[in-house]
A and B are shown apart, each in its own frame.
Chain A
Amino acid sequence: MKSRRTSLWHRLGSINLTIVLCIVLTMDLIWGYFCLERKTPIFTPLNDMGLWAWSKTYGLYNLQHTGWFFLLLVLLTAFSLNTFVCTTNRVQQLFASRRGGGQWLGKLAPHVMHYALIVILLGYLCSYLFTDVLTGRTLVPGSSLSLPDTGGTVSLLAYEPDYYHGKRLAFFDDAVITARFRLQLDDGNSQREAVLSCTRPVRFQGYSLHLKNFAPKKKGGMNRKTRVDLSIRKDPGVGIYLVGMGLFSLGLLLYFFDWVMIREKHSS
């Protein structure tokens, strides 16, 4: 029984399996491109609904277009398992024969990247399974909305746009080039102000507020009333995949340091 388990463990960690999985993943993702290009609206709700609800509705009812995605999930699970087993085996060997500071660190670099990849994928899974999304939240000046289970409220104080004036971007003449919304965040005890813009979300009470759409986008013209549409998310996966990305970058840095400084020195 034990030997069968050991054999399974070694097969699961086989580098040939890694190669096969990488090739199949590449082909599956190319297939995915054509499905996604033709049927983008099927996949758009995935970010707001989460993986589970999306799979039960859009996913299962459009299997001819979403099959690649379910296969991707299976392949990524297998790839994560394979990476974990393979890396763990090698790290054990590496620790057993540990000597030489810089060189040892260089050898550890690929394993840091492998573990980091698993952390990133776990972060994504967490993000798509457990994120609370509040959609369709719109603020106009003076209005406010409350964040569930926190007692926090968000109000829109002012819209402070920058308009583009010039000839270089002809299509942007008199259009908003920077949209800034000044928000008041009230947690029940204290108040503070924050600025929300297109690529600058606001974090408050565990939620992140992202700008989805806004009006007006041009000076004058239709003279539409000021409004900002928000995407409000409580995403427990963000921290995990950001840590994973940091770890992967560290591994990459160590690997190139090892490559340039140590291996090149040895070969010369």
Chain B
Amino acid sequence: MTDPARITLQLAALFYLAAFVVSWPVSTKRFVFPFLFFAALGCNSFTIYSRYMQSWPMLPMHLGALALPLCLALMLAFLGGLRAFTHWFVLRLGLLLCVALIVVALLFPKDFYLPFLKSKTYLSHAFLWFALFAKGACAISALWALSAWPFATALPENIRPLTALKHSLGWAALGFGLWTISMFCGELWCYLGWGTPVVWQDPALTLTLAGWFFYACVLHLHLTKSWNLQLRAAFIGFGGLVVLAMSCLPDFGPFRPVVLP
């Protein structure tokens, strides 16, 4: 299959992986990191552009698994202050997550569904993109929590884990807000298109709601601090990744071997 979108997606995975490799402190080629990172962003963007061109003004079906790495990488680019160790830790884990998502999307593609007329509304696009950026922010929140978790007892004065969890809270709050807006857009779209607040033909809605409740729980945990720091970090880190992986599940299809260009 010589679909350009598929080729650029494979290239994006390679660039993300290369950026991950050169991001290690032992690497002498760290100066090439921005070039590889932006090349990966470019390839990933082209894939999305290409899929959008095949369905606009309707919504491309099951774009989530391909577009989530792009949203995650764009948000990682806003992490700022890349000198601090935890930032690099989060960045590296984020890049690995991007590679993993793309590899799974390449092996289990779901690109055989045609767009449908009822998705020809701005609300459907807003529903998709707010959800993707929400998942990106929630993934970064989970990665910040993971960066706090293994060192929570080893570090003196517990300063770094606390700071990492504070960052995690910020990203979780942003993710929760975007997730809520996405759900509202989805509900309005449902009402206009089908006359009901929920379309039961789409099982993915339950996972969207599951993610929303999980992040509502995360925010309450952060605000009340009712669990100790390590437990909170583990719950937000591992739990967040599991919930996000589950929310991507509907975008994956049956196994198909990767054909290299």
Interface centre among A18, A27, A179 (most CB of B within 10 A): A18
Within 8 Å by CB of A127, from B192, B197, B209, lies B197
Complex CA–CA separation, A179 to B118 (angstroms): 10
Q: Does A33 contact B (CB under 8 A)?
A: yes
Given contacts A168-B53, A248-B184, contact A19 B203 (CB under 8 A): no
Interface size range on B against A: 35 or more
User: Chain A, 7-36, contact with B by CB distance < 8 Å: what is the 0/1 string?
Assistant: 000000001101100110111011011001
Q: Does A205 contact B (CB under 8 A)?
A: no
A138 to chain B, nearest CB (A): 16
User: Chain B, 189-213, contact with A by CB distance < 8 Å: what is the 0/1 string?
Assistant: 1011111111111011011011101
Given contacts A46-B200, A235-B195, A238-B191, contact A169 B54 (CB under 8 A): yes
Complex CA–CA separation, A121 to B237 (angstroms): 29
- Minimal Cβ-Cβ distance residue in A for B200: A43
Residue pairs across A and B with Cβ atoms less than 8 A apart, 6 shown, are A15-B220, A15-B226, A18-B217, A19-B226, A245-B184, A252-B181
Q: Does A201 contact B (CB under 8 A)?
A: yes
Q: Main SS of the interface on chain B?
A: helix
Chain A residues with Cβ below 8 Å from B197 are: 123-124, 127, 237, 241
Q: Does B32 contact A (CB under 8 A)?
A: no
Complex CA–CA separation, A188 to B38 (angstroms): 64
Chain B residues with Cβ below 8 Å from A178 are: 120
Given contacts A198-B193, A200-B192, A248-B180, contact A179 B117 (CB under 8 A): yes
A232 to chain B, nearest CB (A): 8
Q: Does B221 contact A (CB under 8 A)?
A: yes
Which B residues form the contact surface with A (CB < 8 A)? 53-57, 114, 117-118, 120-121, 123, 173, 177, 180-181, 184, 187-189, 191-201, 203-204, 206-207, 209-211, 213-214, 216-217, 220-221, 224, 226, 243, 246, 249-250
Let me know if B206 and A32 touch, CB within 8 A. yes
